[in-house]
Amino acid sequence: MNEIAKLILSLSLSGSILALLLFAIKPIIKHRLSKSIQYYIWIVVLLRLIIPFSFEGSIIDQLMYSYQTTEVNNSQGNVQQDDSSSGNILGSLTLPNVQGNVANGVYNNDIDHNRYFTDLVIESIFYIWLFGVIFALTVNLIGYARFSKQLKQRNITTSDDDNKLLATLTKGRTKVTLVRNRFITTPILIGIIRPQIVIPDYKYNEQQLTNILLHELTHLRRFDLFMKWLTMIVTSIHWFNPLMYIIKKEINRACELSCDEAVIKNLNTEQKQDYGDTLIAVVAEQKYALGALQVTMCEEKKHLKERLLAIMAYNKKSKLLTFISLLLLLVVTCSAVILGASAGKVKDHEIAESKQLDQYKLDTPEHWSIVKLPFASLSFEENGKVIGELGVTPYYPDQPLSQLRNNHTEVIESHALNGFFTEVIQEKIQQTPPAASGDTTVTETLHFYFIMKDKNKAYDLYFYTQDVDEQTAVSVAKSFTLHSSNDAQ
């Protein structure tokens, strides 16, 4: 499977597993642990969905890379899989270039066309996913631009008393402006670079305005607007995952509950009541349009009851509960790391074997690159051009040698080679496309068939004669050995 597809799927799977675990324990922690800790826990889930950091050997990495390591030697020494526990970021973000591979004859040895169709499907799926990401981001950004434009057109300068109250609450240390607007029905905070508190053009008493400003300033200090944007981006990336939309709602809900908790933690019972009354007074009559990326004081009526109950039931947590809250946050963070993602491989000469192959050793020229392939096992490249491949194919001793060749081929030379660990046949083959294709290109390849009769398989090591001379090809073939003692015998 393509590395980009593995990365996205692994991140989505890892984040989803973590989210499902949190949903499972939600009834237990909902009224017991700090709302702020619950919010931070969901931020961990969000980061797990977006950050491609993982340790090799993590649960998801093992799931995506369940095969064993293959070792290859070149003229400078061993190039092998790094099994260390050091973390890494995915290093192989490449897509199959189907048209380029066809032109270079990469699929010439693909007898059943499995690899061709697999590459074609992977390439198509990637572009469908990419289109979904671009579409989701575009819809949100256009929605945000329209919403911002509507706000600016209807903004009204606030009074001196309103600005003085804001300056008192911020103590002049926070750069944020305050405006009124007839377009909105509930106070909002908008703008990451130039934050602005926008309140409806209603007549609020001083206590109500104080509660409104405290709420929005708390969002500002905690960078909740940034988290809102990040949530939108992550949701756009994982648009194909239905659980992502539930996670998004839960993050927004946890954000408001934790903000309420941060505001009221130093208030007395009467002040809490006033704060709750302010929420009731400013609840929005309708939801804002998609893409209106802002934090609102009270947008949805259905969550108002939960917030009011949380406000009136708030009490300072004991040291034990605080400890348990922090411990849970640590456990969730560690779980996110243990789950991991598809870590990929970071070696320049990255090697990984198909499940059907055994471990082997191979000497290649210093300037060659060796990359893994889904089915053909290995591809040899020089300056980015495919010059040969190593694959494995079924072999039945009771059938002729032609079973190893592709259709539309002509054997130019064929003879046995001595001095190898198993029976080896060298053949020079010319292949032409089907006549119906109208293509008259002739591709010449030099094949070395390592026949394992007792295993009913053969290793096919071949090179394009226009890129690799026969002497070099034979030298590489002579270095080919298997590590597996059973096959080497």
Q: Give which of 363, 380, 370, 392 is closest to 478, Cα–Cα.
A: 363
- What would the pLDDT profile of 97-119 be if each residue is shown by its tens digit? 556 665 555 555 555 566 667 66
Helices 206-221, 269-282: inter-axial angle, 10-degree rounding: 90
pLDDT of residue 56: 67
Average pLDDT over residues 288-316: 66
pLDDT of residue 396: 86
Neighbour tally for 129: CB within 10 Å: 18
Query: What φ, ψ does residue 371 adopt, rounded to 5°?
Result: -125, 155
**Least confidently predicted of 32-41, 82-91, 93-102:** 82-91
Q: How confident is the model at residue 441 (pLDDT cuts 50, 70, 90)?
A: confident
Rounded Cα–Cα distance for residues 217 and 229 (Å): 17
pLDDT of residue 474: 92
| Candidate ranges 65-79, 120-134, 141-155, 376-390; pick with highest mean pLDDT | 141-155
Q: Give which of 184, 217, 216, 179 is closest to 200, Cα–Cα.
A: 184
pLDDT of residue 312: 76
**Least confidently predicted of 200-214, 271-285, 299-313, 351-365:** 351-365
How far lies 345's CA from each of 55, 73, 93, 336, 386, in Å?
A: 11, 17, 10, 20, 20
Output b/e per residue, 24-45; b: 16+ Cβ within 10 A.
eeeeebeeebbbbbbbbbbbbb
Q: How confident is the model at residue 93 (pLDDT cuts 50, 70, 90)?
A: very low
Chain-centroid distance of CA 153 in Å reads 39
Q: Choose between 108 and 203: higher pLDDT.
A: 203
Average pLDDT over residues 415-423: 90
Residue 177 · residue 152 · CB < 8 Å: no
- What would the pLDDT profile of 443-453 be if each residue is shown by its tens digit? 999 999 999 88
- In this structure, the dihedral spanned by the alpha carbons of residues 144, 146, 148 and 154, taken in order and rounded to 10 degrees, is -150
- What would the pLDDT profile of 153-193 be if each residue is shown by its tens digit? 889 989 999 999 999 998 877 789 999 998 888 899 998 88
Q: How confident is the model at residue 225 (pLDDT cuts 50, 70, 90)?
A: very high
Rounded Cα–Cα distance for residues 445 and 109 (Å): 10
Q: How confident is the model at residue 404 (pLDDT cuts 50, 70, 90)?
A: confident
Residue 426 · residue 447 · CB < 8 Å: yes
Q: What is the mean pLDDT of the chain?
A: 80
Residue 260 · residue 248 · CB < 8 Å: no
Helix (H, G, I), strand (E, B) or coil at 424: strand
Average pLDDT over residues 309-330: 83
Domains of the chain: 1-66+316-341 (no CATH), 132-315 (no CATH), 360-488 (3.40.1000.10)
State the pTM of this model.
0.64
pLDDT of residue 38: 93
